[in-house]
Structure 1
Amino acid sequence: MVQGANFYRRRLYQAIAPVYAILPFKMTDDQAAELLYWEMPQDLELKIRWPMVPVSLAVAAVFYLTCGLSQARSRAMPDDFMDSFRTLFRVVDRDASLTPAQAMMRMLLAPGAFAPIGKWILFINVTSVLRYFILMGVLNVLLRRWVRDIPRDAGSLPCSGSMGVRSTEMGRSITALAQIARGNEDVARILQTYSRDEIVSAPKSTTSAAPFMDALNEFLAVHGHRALKDFEFTSPRFEEDPTPILAMIRNYLETNSNPDEMAQNQTDRRVELAHSIRQKLSGGLRWRFIEYLADRARYFIKLRENSRFLHIMAWYEARKKILRVERRLMDLGRLKVKGNVLYLTWAEVEALLSAKLAWADVEERIRARRMRHVRWSKQTPPKTLNIESTRQPVAQHESHLTGQGASPGVYEGTARLILDPRVDADIKPGEILVAPFTDPAWTPLFLVARAAVVGVGSYLSHAGTIAREYGMPCVVNVDGCAARIRTGDRLRVDGTEGIVYLLTDEPESNEDSEGQFQ
């Protein structure tokens, strides 16, 4: 466990004390918390605490000695350099002597002293986030200082349009699967008319669906380790249950969204803005420095997304080892129901394996923990704990909700509230995705939607990153959006200002869900 980190109701929280140690600036608890969420406090005054400068330099030196090598080795690599992590995944999977915790430790923290940099996934992820955050901050400051009348999205747009981002490639792959399904009458009929419980088994027993199933298996070979809640051991992976993927393919049957076209549109906007900035700066050193910062930021955005795409394999491997133990316990009669092992501690699992505990000893504690899990899952976790905030909470009005703009632009359309894509992933072309949270496995929904409103997150969160790649407005950290907004409500999403306007309280017909950009 990282120093100062602890769990509260299954959520991991980090103490703000390390922020004070790392940064020798005067700041409030609110500002320190915002920095930990990778948010730039608007009222931060860079007043130096001189006695803390030596401590901060020492911490920076330790960080560099720990992560500097991975920083240097990963600063200019091809898109596929981390694919060797899959080899490590297979090696760990075959090692039956490793416990789930040991498997995660091996994959995330100890892949080998002389292992290629592509296997040091967690270090790459941590350092790429830090570098991206710094580059974006410097880029925004310089653009506002050097370029007059610069658009609000000037800092984010030059850093979008990164090809090779794995989470966006997932959307492209699902689009390709939808095209295969659209051209196969039997597969299209199954996806459009069968229930969610049937769409997994029905294509397998349909001879004409063989090409589609082959393509689906190829997709799962690459993306099967993902889940709709990546960091939860209770969440089935797509390889185990592809129902959410098939439901997303069904959405795509109704749309002609082209991810390549969307990405190209964003690239065209970026090139146009870059040309405008270059003209205003008259070329020269300032323009070259801006171009360098934007190029580096795009690279580290891609590095961050791709390293997260792969390090989720560690959670999947731990889940696989846990479920293998569960099968042994069920064969021995010491567990009765699939999934129960996920509500036991590893010490309790070992006690069951050694017959020190039996089913009767753990039945009640499993039931109680399952109920607690359901109860906590329905609660919105507090953003901070034990911090006496000096700021007034953001007031949510009858006519609009306020959050943080994560991707610029304005779009007006019909809301589609999705609480859990495992249960309901139906979204019509042109609707506005409203969700309490998102993670990379939700990416395909962004190809059908035209704007997004998310209850939690920051500018650097997955929702904001993917929305900027696709050029769609997105507002994150919108407190209470899942409670205030219903499917069918008309919304105007202003991703530039971070405001969601509620245009009506009465749900409208979903027959005409197409909205419009403004």
Structure 2
Amino acid sequence: MSKQHNFVAHIGHSSDYNNLGGKAKSLNKLVHAGFPVPKAYCVTVSAYQAFLKESGLEDWINSFDRYDTATCKKIRNKIQQTNLPEPIHKSIIEAYNKIGKGRVAVRSSAMNEDSITQSYAGQFETYLDIHGEQSVTESIKLCWGSIWADRVDSYQNNKPLNSYKDSAIGVIIQEMVDADAAGVLFTQDPVNGNKNHIIVESCWGLGEGVVSGQVTTDSYIIDKTNFTVIDKVVRPKQTMSGRATPGIISLLDVPTNKVHAASLTDEQAIKLAQQSEAIRKHYDNELDIEWAVKDNKIWILQARPITTEKKITKLCADSEETNDFIRDNAMFSRMDTGEIVTGLMTPLGLSFCHFYQHNIHGPAIKKMGLLDIGKSQHYMGYIQGHVYLNISASAKLLTQCPPTHDPMKFTKRYATDTIDFSNYINPYGEPTAGVQYFKSSIYWLYCQIRNLFSSERIVKKMIALRKKETARFHKLDLNSMSLTALNKELERIDKHFLEACAAYMPFFLQSFALYDLLTELCDKFLGHQGNGLQNRIKASMNGLRTIEVTKAVNVLAETVRRSPKLTNLFINTSLDQLVATLKNDSEGRIFWYQDFSDFLYNFGSRGRQEFELTIPRWNDDPIYILQMIRMYLGSDLKLDSRLTKVSELREADTEQLISCLPLKAKLKIKFVIAAYSKMAERREATRPTYISETWFYRKIVYEVASRLVKQGIIDQNDIPYIDFNTFRDYVAGRKPAELAFSKTKVNENRHRHLVNLNLEDPPMAIIGQHISKRKVNVTQDNDSSVIYGLGSSPGSITAYARVITDLTTQVESFKQGEILVTKFTDASWTPLFALASGVISDIGSTLSHSSIVSREFGIPAVVNSISATQKIQTGDLIFIDGDAGVIRIEKKANT
């Protein structure tokens, strides 16, 4: 056996660089140069090789003909089960004792890891808060085994598995820093490559949460030339990585007083930047540095070269497009794509959208009258985790239909004021013409006649389907079902999901078309007097599903109000105890198992962003509805009379506006209003059916994921980062779990999502490609007291603002009469509108959820304000004009 002193090296004092592995070699360099690195030793590459040789594992490993997934798993298990030779064991224990026998981090250090060509971030194992000799040696063997993990091979550009024969790995034993705050630092901006900026991402607790992408971070941009903080974004940080119990690192709740507090002071961020610049000069390379702060002392945990020179990258919404002309000229928009996909989505949610795009959307739009449905690649696009509709491709497809034969009519419908059409050419070609247009027109006409005569039947069928499938699904015991049975269930959901989307799509698009036609008629017959008539029409919206939910919540609140005992329980019990309290009380049980259960049966599949499978529905977590009941109990809301009054006023307003028109014009407008009303009713009656199916998908995803967690294949916090389509491959037996849920892909998705969180939102509509920008705070300028948007519900009001960016955690702070300020809303927000005096949203159009529901409740709304949530603070006294689209801050909360 080799000499004992080769088995462990004191980091910072070793000259045998090739025996350390990449990470240990980097730390050795840092310590040698005098930078503050926690005390550490490296179990060398020689120790790993000697372990394999002396234990007989080397010959056993070399006896395999191939190194597939099963073989690699056997090797990892064998390494873990094999005792260490005494000299190696003795050297490790001596090193651990020299560190102080305390809590340590045990980190892999592979030969190519943290090199200039391969950073290997997150590829090999790290074990934190390890204590005791046996735990240390077991963790070292786990690190050795990680070199045989399948995810490492995929990082190495799919090298043949026999390349493992030549691989080797060291392991670092490092003093554990129980950090107050930690994170990562980049010596150049990783988004745009700016070398004059140092970027610091910081969180409470251990930096593991940042590296794995599991926690929200604060961001600091620091100028290298004078070490000043150019900008910082302090985000709400609900969770942190820390010690749950000795030896167990997990996500913990951040103390309430720290959720909105900066995790670093400006002085600490500047000291970090100065330290990083010294390290960068020592390495003569741009770096990605992991750091920690404990008791105001900075520790450097790792420094790896940035593997590629960051260049400004243009993002194309259709990543598969290879035609440069199309890439540079296609228009994409996320206006009116439906609130189910509004805002940033997780990788699981995005991959579900991919599933919808390639399997559901095409057959669904064929039902509305498209003879040629084109390629599924061209239906949608994705930028920085946001979902877009390919407007150029859709406009080209719609030229098959007589009402939309002019592609610019549809294209401009989805454009923002920032889009310049002066040189625009639809890159997908000219409108459909000739014989093909004749055929497509006949087909479109046939579909309209068919849809007209079958629409009532379709609506009834969809309502019956939703009730039938909901009742059936509630009876399933998913936990006892095999993967084969669950796969059959998924295939059943696929069938009904497609059927429901196909039923909904014609009503959805006809509603938009009729709304646009009404706008044109108002402009033609009423001129400036008709401004906003389409926003004041009597659209018979009281029966719509979104309002129906609010009515149902109000009924629950009235039921509670009639019982002094129930009222007392709701008002005086904390939300986290309310469900248990209701179930343990005689009156509460009746309410919970009858009234509330009936509500959940009818509306429980609803929730926020319903294509985002990671977000619980009301069936999964009913706390939001309980919050709304409690808020209604504390208000003087008279919902029915209010809705009736708003409806009567709107109808009288409409009659007065059109009374002076010639009979023909009056009849045209009334006909379009009635048609729009009918289509809107049908749209909202069919919508819950396909939404219910998305909840069924979610339940099965989480059932299978819970099994994978128990098997140790994924962690619970990995679920938002798995791919829905590879999940389907696994359940169907087409792909093994190790490949379907590889740590490489999960980590890649997690990191991409973390980057997206820290980027400025991409535009609502865009032609060509997008250059990502880092998110910064909006600076207040001389005109910051006035914000312009789109007036989408008439009226004006002056009231105090309540900014809500997280409905789950902030809803109960809302007070009746406040103006709701938010990024966007969807159906789950509707009950809150009944308490608001006005609504402002960053995103939206005249047919977005915020607009429709505000009009129904008779409160002014301004949408598409872009940055109202950043410029307005809770407590600001603000004026909004829902006709002109003007928001004015009358008095700041802190003045």
Q: Name the structure, 1 or 2, with higher relative contact order (CA <8 Å, separation 6+).
A: 1
CA-CA distance at 1:386 after TM superposition: 5.0
Q: Distance in 1 between matches of 2:522 and 2:791?
A: 18
Pairing of 1:325-404 with structure 2 (within 5 A): 325-331=704-710, 333-335=711-713, 337-338=715-716, 340-345=718-723, 346-347=725-726, 356-357=736-737, 362=742, 366=746, 369-370=749-750, 372-373=752-753, 376-377=756-757, 380-385=761-766, 387=768, 397-404=783-790
Equivalent residue in structure 2 for 1:231, among 611, 621, 643: 611
User: Residues 435-474 of structure 1 correspond to what in structure 2 (within 5 A)?
Assistant: 435-474=822-861
1:415 positional shift: 0.8
Partner of residue 198, structure 1: 577
Residue 381 (structure 2) aligns with: 6
Counterparts of 1:200 and 1:305 in 2: how far apart (Å)?
31
Paired with 1:406 and 1:42, the residues of 2 have a C-alpha distance of: 23
Question: Is contact 1:455-1:478 (8 Å) kept?
Answer: yes
Residues 215 and 359 from structure 1, CA distance in 2 versus in 1: closer, same or farther, beyond 3 angstroms?
farther
Determine if the alignment matches structure 1 residue 313 to structure 2 residue 699.
no
Deviating more after overlay: 64-73 vs 432-441: 64-73
Between the two proteins, the alignment pairs up a number of residues equal to 484
Q: Distance in 2 between matches of 1:170 and 1:69?
A: 31
Alpha carbons 1:335, 1:359 under 8 Å: kept: no
Q: Is the 8 A contact 2:721 2:749 kept in 1?
A: yes
1:118 maps to what in 2?
A: none
Give the distance between the partners of 2:415 and 2:639, measured in 1 at CA: 29
1:26 is displaced (CA, Å) by 7.2
Larger radius of gyration between Structure 1 and Structure 2: 2
Q: Any idea what SS the aligned residue of 2:529 has?
A: coil
Q: Is the 8 A contact 2:522 2:530 kept in 1?
A: no
Q: TM-score, normalised to structure 1's length?
A: 0.81
Whole-Å separation in 2 of the counterparts to 1:180 and 1:370: 44
Equivalent of 2:497, from 96, 108, 115?
108
DSSP 3-state at the match of 1:382: coil
Further displaced range: 317-326 or 5-14: 5-14
Q: Equivalent of 1:35, from 371, 393, 413?
A: 413
Contact 1:124 1:303 in 2 (8 A): no
Contact kept, 8 Å, 1:326 with 1:341, in 2: the verdict is yes
Whether the aligned pair in 2 keeps the contact of 1:67 and 1:127 (CA below 8 Å) is no
**1:254-273 to 2 correspondences below 5 Å:** 254-273=634-653
Contact 1:160-1:468 within 8 A present in 2 as well: no
- Pick closer, same or farther for the CA change 1:368–1:52 going to 2, 3 Å: closer
Q: Indicate the SS of the match to 1:233.
A: coil
In the alignment, which residue of structure 2 is the partner of 1:503? 890
Residue of structure 2 aligned with 1:415, choices 777, 801, 806: 801
After superposition, the C-alpha distances for 1:457-495 in whole angstroms (9 at most, x for unaligned) are 211111111111111111111101111111111111111
Matched, 1:98 2:487: yes
Change (3 A) 1:103 1:344: farther
Q: 1:240 aligns with which of 611, 620, 633?
A: 620
In structure 2, stretches of 5+ residues that fail to align are: 1-357, 362-375, 400-404, 771-779
Change in CA separation of 1:437 and 1:377 when aligned onto 2, cut-off 3 Å: farther
Counterpart mapping for 1:426-437 below 5 A: 426=812, 427-437=814-824
2:673 aligned with 1:281: no
Summarize deviations over 1:274-301 as a string: whole Å, max 9, x none. Answer: 432453136x343233222111111112
8 Å Cα contact 2:791/2:862 also seen in 1: yes
Alignment of 1:484 onto 2:864: no
Tell me whether 1:130 sits opposite 2:509 in the alignment: yes
Answer with 286-295 or 271-280: which moved more.
271-280
- Once residues 410 and 524 of structure 2 are traced to their aligned partners in structure 1, the CA distance between those partners, rounded to angstroms, is 26
The Cα shift of 1:33 comes to 5.2
- Name the counterpart of 2:601: 221
- Give the Cα–Cα distance (whole angstroms) in 1 for the partners of residues 457 and 886 of structure 2: 38
Q: Which AA in structure 2 matches 1:73? A: S
Q: Deviating runs (4+, > 6 A) in structure 1?
A: 41-44, 47-51, 352-355
Contact 2:875 2:892 in 1 (8 A): no
Normalised by the length of structure 2, the TM-score is: 0.49
Q: Contact conserved, 1:171 with 1:444, CA < 8 A, in 2?
A: yes
The separation in 2 between residues aligned to 1:374 and 1:310, in whole angstroms, is 33
TM-superposed deviation, 1:349: 7.3
| Structure 2 SS opposite 1:425 | helix
- Is 2:854 the counterpart of 1:475? no
Partner in structure 2 of residue 19 of structure 1: 395
Q: What's the C-alpha RMSD, in Å, of the aligned pairs?
A: 3.7
Distance 1:97 1:352 in 2: 7
Tell which deviates more after alignment, 447-456 or 123-132.
123-132
In structure 2, the residue matched to 1:207 is 586
Could you say if the C-alpha distance between residues 229 and 143 of structure 1 is closer, same or farther in structure 2, counting changes exceeding 3 Å?
A: closer
Q: In proportion to residue count, which structure has more strand?
A: 2
| 1:69 lines up with 2:444 in the alignment | no
Post-superposition shift, 1:63?
5.2
| Percent of aligned positions that are identical | 22
**Residue 182 of structure 1: aligned partner:** 561
Equivalent residue of 1:334, what SS?
Answer: coil
Distance 1:420 1:151 in 2: 37
User: CA 1:17–1:34 in structure 2 vs 1: closer, same or farther (change >3 Å)?
Assistant: same
| In 2: Cα distance, 1:149 partner to 1:254 partner | 42
- Cα distance in 1, alignment partners of residues 430 and 727 from structure 2: 50
Q: Matched residues in 1 for 2:692 and 2:810: separation?
A: 25
The whole-number CA distance in structure 2 between the counterparts of 1:10 and 1:58 is 39
* 1:514 equivalent in structure 2: none
Q: CA deviation at 1:65?
A: 5.8
Secondary structure in 2 matching 1:197: helix
CA contact (8 A) 2:714 2:741 kept: no
SS in 2 for 1:267: helix
Summarize the Cα distance change of 1:494–1:103 in structure 2 as closer, same or farther, 3 Å threshold: farther
Query: Could you give the per-residue CA deviations for residues 154-205 of structure 1, whole angstroms, max 9, x where no partner exists?
Result: 2222243423211101001111111222333343334334433223322222
The one-letter code sitting in structure 2 at the alignment partner of 1:291 is K
Question: Bigger CA drift: 207-216 or 233-242?
Answer: 207-216
CA contact (8 A) 1:100 1:318 kept: no
1:298 matches 2:651? no
Contact 2:874–2:893 (Cα < 8 Å) also in 1? no
Q: Give the partner amino acid of 1:491.
A: I
